[in-house]
Chain A
């Protein structure tokens, strides 16, 4: 029997230090010394997923020449017969819908940004724009699944669970991969999300993302039931450990030891999660960074603040999903609200991380699952339009964590329809994120059904140009 377990035998769970518990539970590759492959620039990721697909036309990728083409048919030379979704494929015409929002250049980098994102506009010199993102999927479910797992069909591990598996956690009281979800005020009947988006696929389930909830217990069953207080639960866990130790002595099955340790860990999680959520010690100045909604659980602002607190506590992969970006119609009515949800909190998060010296080793990623079309879906009028899905180009930005700030990578044509320079595929983005965390994306593999799978399948190139 190994020394840790023998120790557990003789001392019982209460005498067990948290570090020992950690080593008992941790069987990830980091513990085996496999990863990181090289010195990482980033220790953790905060991924602000904008679910539904934000319009690059109205936020980042300004195409001034389109103003004159309002209502004209999208030239076939641009469309090149590319496939369209079933929602607009049978549409009789494809009139160009230029953005109605004002764009300005900001900061030393001179990055263009629309007036819908005034707070982020002030931070453009911290951002690394990628205007040449592209994906293969054309509908939400496959596209978001692709971004999360590197494959359009459900069943593979999510990026966060790959990293939890490869790099383990720096905090043994909290999961390595935490997910939070918020509903935007743009499109209220927006695309749904699915638990499998942060699932572990064929990796062991302990690597799956744990969703922190805004309704009820933040982690399922983390609260003691009504009628039982903390000392009562302590006594319970201690007595259970005594009984299980008797069984362990009798049967010698090390799984019993693990179970004792897991109950102890559960007890500790019950304490650390409320501490995480206790915002009383946050200063008014910090709270102000995130804007007025920061105190309202379930909002994007609140989740951004929690993201910082999780980052401070060493959680490896923190992923926020903000729904409401699917502007098929009435875009001018929806988009300003949707942008207001995320603008100040995203900017505030960057500022807060920077003030605490966390931005250097925290990679922040911001973007959706595809872009939106230059042509109008439905009826185009002077002040109303909608945009369908567009996988052929869209904009994302990165910040911190070893990225090169204040640059724009990649470019699109005058219609933001096709990429004209430096395309970045979803697999490339994944390879780059892993690289910043010190992981060679070709090395992080798992054998399943006879094959060595990896997040980037058989593709992916690190985008060197965005690295600092």
Chain B
């Protein structure tokens, strides 16, 4: 049915065989897997991927691949991989020509052809085939094509009209410049980058809980919009953290390689997943920048390309050195991470920071006066009551209580603290037994969910538990508390979800903690009441006094003051004071006895500090790259298995690409990727841009520029573009402009049967591109032409319409809860992406699944797409709103209203025969809905937006069906 495209350039009898184009693919596909770079699996000690190996046996190759004898035939008959007659002919021709050998084409540096241009090279090729470029596309068609290509949204009818009227030279170029300057451009470019970066809003394994990487996504949009040079774009995303004095933005950029899936499943083995994460980073990085499938060398030397397994793990070594855990937090972002305020938040944060700093400066400036005032007050102080820090005090039980190992005190639903909360648990204890519960919220069974501070064999033990052993945190003090004496215990927790976020103070002094389990994964809040003296099956024997819970992690100074044994009056009466006691005296004075002026400054100092801290805690975070101070060892992993380490390897680039390069960190790796000496990055990148505009890359296998990849249709064109891209300083907008300014891009996309037969996939460009728009563009366009689109740059992901139950069905847990209001109408790149259940409206239209890096655009044409466009609530609502626009903006006749619809959706007027069909359709539906107005009401009820009341419902319903026809047209969903 289809003519295989290879037929276009394998008439071996007329054209001399080109090794890289014609011969290497045969050898690679049919021979290399046993006679290639993979040394361990090489058969007969024969390799055909090098000239030295192949040249001596050329005649033999032909003999064996054509042998009639089953036992001699190559490839072995059992593989079913025999060469075709055409391939055998090519081989013979090549040998007859003297068998010229070349290094694989993409590993040679690109060279700019003399006097090249896109059109000259495309036309030269067409001429050889006896073809030529098509005439230019109609202006409106071209405008729609370029607008949707560069911004992902259609122009307005008014913009179209202006362009149609503008016959001056440079009219098209001005449109292109306007589109590239539009902030919609960054959103459009981000879509495919998110696929490549496997960006999503959930972790992707098991529970598939939420993470938060949208600030990285917004960084990408911003970078495209300000036309950040692609080399800088690369370096910041791969190694922004290693730049000298990196800005917060440069660190946020490194989220690129933290977007991979991450496993928090109970019972998962951390080491195993640490390996998977590093491998994923190598694979994504090599696919996106090198167009190479390095992942093939995970288990053995690459079968087709000259990369050894050792080299794979040498690349791995650049990416395995994060201070990260293999088993990540089940919910939320896992370290390393950074606070990533939005631009708006950034300014508010700066204001609060400045206020806090200024308040502190003011307070510090008054220190001498404070000292003087305290001294003056001391001399005349009357009776004083004791003082303890009251800042953020949530609960206290001041009176001493006796516990006999049986009774406990219960306080109900107080202090429901959890996972992300910062808090302090403190009390005076006088134990008579080395085991007992002090302050807890948990059941009376051992090791059940909740939090608690205990004495265990005299040591202070802190438990935060959801499920014992694999979802819990336990630390205990190195020292034991003395029996029969009072000690003060304060435990502070900073909400970081890690053991290192817990500090213990005994008698106001920080005490050493040992980590027993550090595997907290989710919230540990329970319904059990707060209790003194009981929890986890333990009871307290002895006395407890001054139990307090603070809704913040107290500072060391505060903990010191709190843990001071002497009362304020005793401190006043004594001259021998510890620093903490002196501080207690001073703070008590400032709080209760100081002149108003001093008091105000003191309170302002704490207030601004708290306000800054509280605001900081609300800021979004992004997971980022970071280096551990001590480099984690990397080994070759036998068969790719995490528990089969072989030789140790150090960081290095593949030899064939970077012979002799000394590359010792990620920053150098990133710099090499965008350096002149790397033959791949520029080619691979311009090829992806070409794919975006023309539907298929110049190298169709955009993810594979190795020997199993497809030969470029226009090698000189690819090189010309690549060199120009580098010469321009990696200027992305300029590169896209060069492409869309070409005649090749601007051609009409009509096709004749003859041309279709000769070039069904349009790889020669004798016509313009014509294919269905990507998922995001299909939906965004419907929102725009119906007037529903809400344009707002960035922010947390949104949850537009989605059929009910999709999440619940698979997880039995929480279902998708869709947003209301403007979040229903945001551009599709902001749609919440749950990996286990990706948005069906996107997946139906071939969006990438975001499990791993995907750079190839995939396009199918299925009945499920038809069902979605006809019946999905989102498209029914868009049809209704488009109908309202046609009625409201389209004058008063049926014809003029129809014209308005065409202008909005297609930027053109309907042909007479189209009008005939559509108006007949309109009359048909009008009749139906006038006869059955209840049906009209139902049809109009889809979607949240209010139904326009200016029109009778049967009339609006009939026009809604008409608008739905427009939205379902092949032309509407197609780049034409």
Contact = CB atoms under 8 A, between A and B. Distances in A.
A389 B925 CA distance: 60
Contacts of A214: 809
A194 B706 contact: no
B205 A141 contact: yes
Nearest to B710: A450
A266 B517 CA distance: 55
Interface stretch (B357-365, B479-487, B748-756, B786-794): B748-756
A120 to B, nearest CB: 25
Contacts of B937: 227
Interface residues of B, number: 111
A255 B771 contact: yes
A88 B267 CA distance: 8
Interface stretch (A39-47, A240-248, A335-343): A240-248
A121 interface: no
B708 interface: yes
Contact of B863 (A223, A225, A233, A266): A266
Interface stretch (A66-74, A98-106, A257-265, A392-400): A257-265
A228 B914 CA distance: 23
A226 B770 contact: no
A108 interface: no
A284 interface: no
B13 interface: no
B415 interface: no
A265 B925 contact: no
Interface residues of A, number: 86
Contacts of A240: 965, 968-969
A189 B849 CA distance: 26
B265 A213 contact: no
Contacts of A270: 867
B265 A141 contact: yes
B207 A192 contact: yes
Nearest to A228: B939
Contact of A449 (B296, B935, B970, B971): B296
B970 to A, nearest CB: 5
A183 interface: yes
Nearest to B961: A236
A449 B293 contact: yes
Interface stretch (A79-87, A302-310, A414-422): A79-87
Contact of B770 (A217, A253, A450): A253
B595 interface: no
B942 interface: yes
A252 B752 contact: yes
Given A139-B265, A139-B268, A194-B837, A243 B969 contact: yes
Contact of A87 (B261, B267, B941): B267
Nearest to A260: B970
Interface in B909-967: 911, 913-914, 917-918, 920-921, 924-925, 928, 935-942, 957, 961, 964-965
Contacts of A217: 803
Interface string A1-41: 11000000000000000000000000000000000000000
A220 B868 contact: yes
A221 B924 CA distance: 24
B865 A262 contact: yes
Given A85-B267, A220-B867, A253-B751, A194 B810 contact: yes
Given A1-B756, A83-B269, A138-B269, A195 B862 contact: no
A229 B750 CA distance: 36
A196 interface: yes
Interface stretch (A198-206, A275-283, A345-353): A198-206
A192 B208 contact: yes
Interface string B803-836: 1111011111100000000000000000000011
Interface stretch (B231-239, B505-513, B869-877): B869-877
Contacts of B938: 225-227
B85 interface: no
A434 to B, nearest CB: 15
Nearest to B293: A449
A360 B277 CA distance: 46
A188 interface: yes
A194 B708 contact: no
A246 B803 contact: no
A262 B866 contact: yes
A182 to B, nearest CB: 9
A215 interface: yes
B263 interface: yes
Of residues B1, B303, B327, which shows the largest number of chain A Cβ atoms within 10 Å of its Cβ? B1
Interface in A83-121: 83, 85-88, 90-91
B872 A221 contact: yes
Nearest to A1: B753
A447 B957 CA distance: 49
B572 interface: no
Contacts of B865: 262
Nearest to A24: B1
A205 B846 contact: yes
A140 B852 contact: no
Contact of A216 (B1, B803, B843): B803
Given A1-B753, A139-B268, A140-B206, A262 B862 contact: yes
A139 B327 CA distance: 12
Contacts of B519: 86
B586 interface: no
Interface string B1-27: 100000000000000000000000000
A246 B914 contact: yes
Of residues A216, A223, A226, which shows the largest number of chain B Cβ atoms within 10 Å of its Cβ? A226
B416 interface: no
Contacts of A243: 914, 917-918, 965, 969
B267 A154 contact: no
A467 to B, nearest CB: 21
Interface in A123-168: 138-141, 153-155
Contacts of A380: none
B870 A86 contact: no
Given A205-B858, A225-B942, A155 B866 contact: no
A463 interface: no
A139 B861 contact: no
Contact of B957 (A227, A246, A388): A227
B660 interface: no
A259 B970 contact: yes
A338 B695 CA distance: 50
A213 B269 contact: no
B204 interface: yes
A190 interface: yes
A17 B701 CA distance: 37
Nearest to A227: B939
B862 A205 contact: yes
A215 B809 contact: yes
B868 A221 contact: yes
Contacts of B469: 86-88, 90-91
Contact of A255 (B772, B862, B921): B772
A443 B293 CA distance: 23
Contacts of A239: 917-918, 920-921, 965
Given A1-B756, A226-B941, 16 more contacts: A138-B269, A140-B265, A154-B851, A192-B206, A193-B810, A195-B838, A215-B809, A239-B918, A242-B917, A243-B965, A251-B770, A262-B862, A263-B968, A266-B863, A269-B867, A450-B296
| Across the A-B interface, the 5 shortest Cβ-Cβ residue pairs | A450-B708, A227-B939, A227-B938, A85-B267, A215-B805
Interface of A: 1-2, 83, 85-88, 90-91, 138-141, 153-155, 181, 183, 188-196, 199, 204-206, 210-211, 213-217, 219-229, 232-233, 235-236, 239-240, 242-244, 246-248, 250-256, 258-260, 262-263, 265-266, 269-270, 323, 388-389, 442-443, 447, 449-451
19 contacts: A85-B267, A88-B469, A140-B206, A154-B204, A154-B851, A181-B809, A189-B813, A211-B809, A220-B840, A223-B871, A236-B870, A236-B964, A236-B965, A239-B921, A251-B751, A258-B861, A269-B863, A449-B295, A449-B703
